[in-house]
Each structure stands twice: as C-alpha cells, then as structure tokens.
A and B are shown apart, each in its own frame.
Chain A
C-alpha cells in the first residue's frame, strides 16, 4: 500500500495507527486471537455435548450467557446514546469522544446478541424461532429492538465517518484499501451540498437513536419483569436497566478512552477535561443507580411477601450475599468518593472508578438473574444453585476478547477519533460558543457578531 506524504498534516497522529503497523499490533492481535480461539473451542465442545457441559441446571436455566447478554447490551449504551445526547445538547467537547463511543455500541451489540445464540440448547433449530416465533413474547421484542438499535447505530457510526473515509481514500494510492475507501466515501469531496446532506442526516439520526436506545434496554428488562418470578416482576425494571446500562456504558467508554490515549498517543485529543466531564456524568449515574436499587429492594422488603423474601434473603445474607455486597462495593463504595471529589476525578481516578463499575455492573446482572431462578415461586418443586463451568468461562473470555479484537481491527482501518469533526471544531467552536452565549447572556447581544 503506497501513501501520499501524510506525516506533515495536522492530525497526522490520528492516521499513524492506520498507516503504520508496529510489532505491538501483531502481539495484541495474536493474544486476542488465542483468547477468541479458546472461546470458539469452548463453544465447539458445548455444540457437540450440549448444554450439560455448562453449570446451568434446573431451575437455574439462565446464567453466564444471559448475564453477559444483558451486560453487553448495557455497555452498548456507552456509544450511540451518549454520542447522540452530546450532539443534541451541542456539547463542543464531544468531538474526540463520539467515534470511540459509537464503535463500542456497534461491536458489543453484535457480541451481546451472539450470547443469546450461544445460550440456545438446540442452535440447529434457530430458523424455527424466526419462522414461527410468537411476537407477543418479550424475547422477540428483544430480537426486534436489538436489530433496530444495531442497524441504527451502524448507520449512525457510518454517516459521520464519510468525510474521514474520504481523507483516507485521498491518501492511500493503491490496494484493496483504496477500493474499500472509494466505495465507502461515496464520492465525498466536501462540497456545501454534501455537508448539508450529512448534517441533516446526522441530526435526524441523533434524534432517532435516543428513543431506540432507551427502548432496547427497557425491552431487555421486560424479559425479566414480564414474568411473575420473585424480584423480577417489577414496574421500575425498565428505567432501572436503562440507568444501569448508561452507568456501565460510560465506565467502559472511559476505560477504552484511557487505553487509546496511551496506545495511540492521543493526549492532545483526549484531555483530562474529557475524563472529568464523563466522570461527572458517571457520578450522576452512581447516585441514580443507588436510588433505583434502594427503591427496588426497600419495596420488596416492606412488602414482605414470602416468595420475594426468599430471594431477598439469599441476596442480603444468604448464598449470594458475597456477590451482592461485592456489587455494592464496586458500584458505590469505591467509585462514589473517587468521582465526587475534584481532586480524585483525574484520568487515573476515573479509570479506577470505571473498572470498579464494570465489575460491579456485571455482578449486578448476576445478582438479578441467578438468585431469582435458584429460588423460584414454586420452590417446593425445585431449588437450585449455580457455579459456572470452564466452558462458560471460556466463552465469556472469548466474547470479551472478540470485542477487543474487533476494536483493534477497526482502529487499524478507520480513524478512531473523528478527524473531520476535530477540524471542524478547531474552526467553528469559538464562534458556536460565542453565538450561543449571545442568545442567553444579558449584555452579550450588544457585542459585534463573530465571523
């Protein structure tokens, strides 16, 4: 692949990962590839021997795969939703963050959906689900809303990327990449009409993806709350899941931003203020999560309904108490003080809080799913417990590695920070902010209009 002399350009650092391949790239891809292979082998074992090789049993028939499904779908809220909200609210600091976030959404949605397929005991009968599915089942609502969100997120990722793809097309001289960029750039040359079309489309998509994203995790919660299982049949599960999703999604976004900042030398683009602002968003989400958790558990406790209390006790002081209290530790006790104090809301601080929240939110999904199934309403007939098998652990590790691998490969093909948006911001931000301030600050209206 030949290239024009891109090194002297502004933002050349954003093109380095695409045009230069170091030894570190191959090491990372090999390690991730091996982990994915572990997952593939684990699934091959499960395919061959059936779900008996997992730790799932009767009545705990949903476990690691469904936990991962809910967790990954939650993580997906990092991207498109946050990006769309920041665009709609005209937060100028969003520019280097949006692409990083949108890629997360597209990748984890695919991997989350894959976990549902992995959970199928008879994957060879998958087609029957599509041909004869019952559309009043929340499981099919899930399939529909996740497909809609994945499609919308892919379009929302692609449209703002067109000018950046054109930048790559103009700099790559030959090879398959040239063809790829030529096709995807759609003949972009940056005319006024093209900018107008793109801006209108981005604005329309930003409006669309917010309700779609909210609906996705609400519908994921319906899979549980539409049943009459103890501690699942709750009216606040929809918003509770949405809050948890944005919470864990923001945490994942911060961790990935920190990794990219270090690996791709993006210190000028991902500044401490980005981590500070996202840390503040996460602080709000910590408090909202605590509020919803408190409301949910207090209602159950006060109601004192025997079947509900059996699940409640197993979480508070029974078999699942270590997991429950670890969840509280990771989701509140560790991150809250770090995020609440200006002094600790640094890059390191927000990353520590984010890692804690990612662990805590995965545990939260486990605490929601497993104790209820282990203590069902008809407990006279079945009570159970659950420990994951090595096959499930292998598939989980493989799923996480697949996400990381796809992310690395994406950053090898496309700029992970939007070059065109950053350039536009460099030219336009001051004017936009001044014009906006002029509209609401008394006295500023008398100042001469900016260029």
Chain B
C-alpha cells in the first residue's frame, strides 16, 4: 500500500503568480509565432513574392498554434479550477 503523503501545505500566492507567468509566457510565444507568420505573409504581399504559397503554409501553421494555445489554456484553467472546486471529493481513480 501507498504511504500517506505529507499533507498539502497551503500554496503561497507566489505559486499562482508563477503559474500565471507560465501561461502568459506560453501565450506570448504562440502569439509571436503567429505574428511572425503574419509578417512574412505581409512581406510577400507587398513585394509580390508568391503570396499564395505563403498563405498556403500559414493556413496549416496558424491553426496548429491556435489549437495548442487553446489546449494549454483548457488544461491550465481546467486543472486549477478542478482542484479548487472538488478538492474534498477525490475521484475513484487513485489519488497520486
């Protein structure tokens, strides 16, 4: 059988701030990639430089990053809120 882990200490506000920084960092990263792709499309447009090819690649790349952004946010807020709302009701699956 598992030994009982140490009781959870109340997390300091710094933990949440750092978690928020993690989320903001990831969001900025994904946003800057999307921004970079948009800039390259703009450059190809103003220079008449095979604009269509750039759009074709961007149509694949941008949704991937948007999807990753959505998934990361979904996990971040879902796990955080799930912990707060149901912290006294552990699931049938073993608690870690």
B75 near A159: Cβ-Cβ < 8 Å: yes
Contacts of A420 in B (CB 8 A): 96
Say whether, besides A140-B40, A155-B68, A134 and B83 are in contact (CB < 8 Å).
Answer: no
Whether A183 lies near B19 (C-beta < 8 A) is yes
Separation of A66 and B30 alpha carbons in the complex (Å): 27
Interface string of A1-23 (1 = CB under 8 A from B): 00011101110000000000000
In angstroms, Cα B83 to Cα A365, docked, is 48
Q: Are A9 and B79 in contact (CB under 8 A)?
A: no
Q: How far is the CB of B53 from chain A (nearest CB, A)?
A: 4
Is A393 interfacial (CB-CB < 8 Å)? Answer: no
User: Is the Cβ of B83 less than 8 Å from the Cβ of A197?
Assistant: no
Q: Does A205 contact B (CB under 8 A)?
A: yes
| Closest chain A residue, CB of each to CB of B4 | A4
Residues 1-27 (chain B) with a chain A CB within 8 angstroms: 1-3, 5-6, 8, 11, 14-15, 18-19, 22
Choose from A148, A163, A196 the contact partner of B61 (Cβ within 8 Å): A148
The docked-state distance in angstroms from the alpha carbon of A421 to that of B40 is: 42
Given contacts A192-B86, A195-B91, contact A170 B8 (CB under 8 A): yes
- A131 to B96 CA separation, bound complex (whole angstroms): 47
Q: Which of B3, B19, B22, B86 contacts A193 (CB 8 A)?
A: B86
Instruction: Decide: B15 and A194 in contact? CB cutoff 8 A.
Output: no
Total count of chain B residues near the partner, CB < 8 A: 57
Main secondary structure of the interface of B (DSSP, over half): helix
Residues of B with C-beta under 8 A to A395: none
By CB atoms of chain A within 10 A, which of B36, B76, B87, B89 has the most? B36
- Near B by CB (< 8 A), chain A positions 366-382 give none
The reply to whether A145 and B61 contact each other, CB–CB distance below 8 Å, is yes
Whether, in the assembled complex, A352 has its beta carbon less than 8 Å from a beta carbon of chain B, the answer is: no
Q: Is A440 interfacial (CB-CB < 8 Å)? A: no
Residues of A within 8 A of B92 (CB): 192
**B77 shortest CB reach to chain A, Å:** 9
CA distance A190 to B8 in the complex (A): 13
Shortest CB-to-CB span from B92 to chain A, Å, is 8
Contacts known (A9-B2, A183-B19); A190 close to B65, Cβ less than 8 A? no
Name the residue of chain B whose CB is nearest to the CB of A187.
Answer: B83
Q: Which of A148, A163, A167 has the most CB of B within 10 A?
A: A148
**Which residues of chain A come closer than 8 Å to B83, judged between CB atoms?**
186-189, 191, 194
Most-contacted residue by chain A among B36, B53, B96 (CB, 10 A): B96
Cα separation A6 to B3 with both chains bound (whole Å): 7
- B contact residues around A136 at 8 Å (CB): 44, 49-50, 53-54, 57
> Shortest distance in angstroms between B54's beta carbon and chain A's nearest beta carbon?
4
Given contact pairs A141-B57, A148-B64, A195-B93, A187 touches B79 in the complex (Cβ within 8 A): yes
Given A171-B6, A183-B15, also A192-B91 (CB < 8 A): yes
Residues of B within 8 A of A189 (CB): 8, 83, 87, 90, 95
Say whether A186 contacts B80, CB under 8 Å. Answer: yes
**Looking at the complex, which one of B3, B15, B67, B93 makes contact with A8 (CB distance below 8 Å)?**
B3
Closest 10 CB pairs of A and B: A197-B78, A187-B83, A193-B82, A136-B53, A194-B82, A135-B54, A191-B86, A170-B5, A192-B91, A190-B95
A-B contact pairs, 24 of them (CB 8 A): A135-B40, A135-B41, A136-B49, A144-B33, A148-B61, A152-B64, A155-B71, A170-B96, A173-B6, A179-B14, A179-B18, A182-B15, A186-B19, A187-B80, A190-B91, A190-B93, A191-B89, A192-B86, A198-B78, A200-B74, A201-B78, A204-B71, A215-B60, A423-B94
